[in-house]
Amino acid sequence: MARGKLIVFEGLDRSGKSTQCERLVSYLSGRGVPVKHRRFPDRTTPIGQMINNYLQGQSEQEDHVIHLLFSANRWEAVASIEADIKAGTTVIIDRYYYSGCVYSAAKNNPSLDLAWCRHPEEGLPRPDLCLFLDISAEDAASRGGWGEERYEKKELQNRVRQLFADIRATDDGSDFVTIDAGQSLEDVEYAIRHHTETCISKIDDTSPLRRIQ
Ligand code: TMP
Ligand code: MG
């Protein structure tokens, strides 16, 4: 049986990831592709609840500690993600380890640079495709609901966007696509479908899921 694919959405807060994730999930299920939708942080687990409290300003965490909690929140889902992929289900995830690296590194804590941030992520399943929805911090801030959570501040989001660009430049590039999220919802959706179809058709079903190295 063909294995499922691992497809990840990334971008700044309010870049439209959640909407587009849902649209892609219903598009693929409409085509008969078994698909599962996840998001990180997964706020439903005990670790996810600690993260949620921190993001909503109800608790404080030392920078390294919250970083490791975000990472642990991915590791606790690995067995389930791997089981789905093996069973032929495509897993679509709203945020993954790229967010894990760049949001922590954007804090400018001298002992929390991008390399340090990436280490706990090594060994996680590597996405077959990362769809990066690119938007400026200014445009994101003008969208509804912005500013409610801890990281929704313009200076931090500007650094996050720069760090996403740094990661894209150092990644081997093969599985990372950038989509202009300032376009209409439909144009963004169309671009996402196009890249997803290309990814699905080019992956050899016998090729195992890779790991982040
Ligand atoms: P959300 O807006 O997608 O629910 O994500 C909540 C915030 O958490 C968002 O500002 C990005 C941030 N974040 C991290 O700092 N590290 C992570 O590993 C993840 C997944 C998200
Ligand atoms: Mg958010």
| Per-residue pLDDT, 174 | 62
Residue 108 has pLDDT above 60, yes or no: yes
Identify the residue whose C-alpha is closest to ligand 1 atom 2: 13
In a domain, 166, yes or no: yes
Best residue among 151, 155, 156, 157 to mutate for probing ligand 1, ranked by most atoms within 8 Å of CB: 151
- Between CA 101 and CA 5 the distance in angstroms is 22
And the tokens for 143? 């969208």
- At residue 206 the predicted structure's pLDDT band, cuts being 50, 70 and 90, is confident
- Between CA 3 and CA 208 the distance in angstroms is 8
Q: Give the distance (Å) from ligand 1 centre to CA of residue 98.
A: 10
Instruction: List the CATH number of the domain containing 175.
Output: 3.40.50.300
By three-state DSSP, how is residue 200 classified? helix
Q: Is the CB of 75 under 6 A from ligand 1?
A: no
DSSP 209: P
Q: Is the CB of 98 under 6 A from ligand 1?
A: no
| Per-residue pLDDT, 39 | 98
C-alpha 110: how far from chain center: 24
Q: Is the CB of 151 under 6 A from ligand 1?
A: yes
- Between CA 152 and CA 53 the distance in angstroms is 15
Q: Give the distance (Å) from ligand 1 centre to CA of residue 3.
A: 28
ipTM of this predicted structure: 0.98
By three-state DSSP, how is residue 62 classified? coil
pTM of the shown model: 0.96
Q: What is the four-CA torsion angle of 191, 210, 2, 190, rounded to 10 degrees? A: 0
- At residue 105 the predicted structure's pLDDT band, cuts being 50, 70 and 90, is very high
- The answer to whether 149 and 195 are in contact (CB under 8 A) is no
Among candidates 31, 39, 51, which has minimal Cα distance to 7?
Answer: 39
Q: Is the CB of 11 under 6 A from ligand 1?
A: no
What digits encode the pLDDT tens for the residues 126-164?
999 999 999 999 999 898 888 889 999 999 999 999 999
What digits encode the pLDDT tens for the residues 171-205?
655 688 999 999 999 999 999 999 999 999 988 77
- Between CA 192 and CA 62 the distance in angstroms is 36
Partners of 134 in the beta sheet? 180
Q: Is the CB of 13 under 6 A from ligand 1?
A: yes
Identify the residue whose C-alpha is closest to ligand 1 atom 15: 103
- Say what angle helices 63-75 and 46-55 make with each other, to 10 degrees: 140
Best residue among 18, 55, 97, 148 to mutate for probing ligand 1, ranked by most atoms within 8 Å of CB: 55
Number of domains in the chain: 1
Average pLDDT, the chain: 94
Range of the domain at 95: 6-202
- At residue 1 the predicted structure's pLDDT band, cuts being 50, 70 and 90, is confident
| Per-residue pLDDT, 73 | 99
- The average pLDDT across 40-57 equals 98
Q: What is the CA radius of gyration of the chain?
A: 17
Element (H, E) at 10: strand 6-11
Of residues 39 and 208, which shows the higher confidence score? 39
| Per-residue pLDDT, 173 | 55
Ligand nearest to the CA of 70: 1
In a domain, 210, yes or no: no
